[in-house]
Amino acid sequence: MECERLRELDSELALGVLSARERAEAVAHLDRCPDCREHVERLTAVGDGLLALLPGAEPPVGFESRVARALGAPPAPKRHRRLRLAAAAAAAALACGFGGWAIGTAVEAAPPQVSQVTDAGLREAALVSDGHEVGRIHAHTGDEAWVYMSVDLDGIGRGPVRCLLVHADGSTVPVGSFPLKDGYGYWGGPTPTDPATVTGVRLIGPNGNILATADFPTS
């Protein structure tokens, strides 16, 4: 497919209504043509904008609790499986319109990065113990700074564990403590210091020992 043909199909591609064959040919062209890719990406804003105009509607009574129950299914009992659930979920593609989410391209399963800045205000890092990932921490920077973490620590039982944010100079700021259940726990809360200024995290056990650490990427 050449640029001229692609431009004839640009809107149908952007709105996600091309036939499978035409779509495959168009996407193959976009893979090697940055100009057409940018052009179609701009058009996808029209489709996204249309969907944003759809009026909200109140679902039937009981919907919220039914869905929440379905989502709150107890995690699988096998240890460490819990932390892998979300990463494994990345193996499946979310087929949407061309420029929408995931662009209909298969997203391969990949181990989570040790740390990353996911957007301007959200930082994410692995909590590591003895070289193994035992949890993840997410920190949102800015005026309403907060942290959220989940950990799965063998042999710690009920905890509690304390969370310290670590500054570059080695000073620490406690942000809270939380209990575990069979070594597993998740917790979140506001922080007294902006996570943008910290370089890492320590989780401290009941005996004062360091259970896990995380390093944020330096920005």
Per CB under 8 A, contacts with other proteins among 121-140 are: 122, 138, 140
- Between 10 and 133, name the residue whose CB sits nearer to other proteins: 10
Q: Which residues pair with 127 in a beta bridge?
A: 135
Judged by CB under 8 A, the chain residues 142 through 171 that form the site for other proteins are 144, 146, 148, 150
Site for other proteins, residues 192 to 211, rule: CB under 8 A: none
Tell which one of 80, 128, 188, 213 touches other proteins (CB under 8 A): 188
> Least distance (Å) from other proteins to the CB of residue 169?
25
Token pair of 157 as six digits: 């039982």
Cα–Cα distance, 24 to 151 (Å, whole number) = 42
Residue at 81: amino acid letter? R
Among 128, 172, 178, 196, binds other proteins (CB under 8 A): 178
Q: Which is nearer to other proteins, 168 or 217 (CB)?
A: 217
- One residue of 176, 194, 206, 215 binding other proteins per CB under 8 A: 176
Among 3, 24, 28, 46, binds other proteins (CB under 8 A): 46
Enumerate residues 66-95 that contact other proteins by CB under 8 A: 66-75, 82, 85-87, 89-90, 92, 94-95
CB of 135 to other proteins, least distance (A): 10
Give whichever of 73 and 78 is closer to other proteins, judged by the CB atom: 73
**CA 131 to CA 39: how far, in whole Å?**
45
Cβ contact 12:5 at 8 Å? no
Stretch that binds other proteins, among 26-34, 96-104, 165-173, 210-218 (CB under 8 A): 96-104
Q: Do the Cβ atoms of 184 and 82 come closer than 8 Å?
A: yes
Among 149, 154, 200, residue whose Cα is nearest residue 178? 149
Q: Which of 5, 35, 111, 118 binds other proteins (CB under 8 A)?
A: 118
- Closest by CA to 96, choosing from 15, 157, 26, is 15
**201 with 127: CB under 8 angstroms?**
yes
Q: Which range of residues in 27-35, 42-50, 196-204, 211-219 is near other proteins by CB under 8 A?
A: 42-50
| Burial letters 46-63, b for 16+ CB under 10 A, else e | ebeeeeeeeeeeeeeeee
Q: Is residue 55 near other proteins by the rule CB under 8 A? A: yes
Q: How far is CA 23 from the centre of its chain?
A: 28
In the numeric block, the tokens 């905890």 are attached to 159
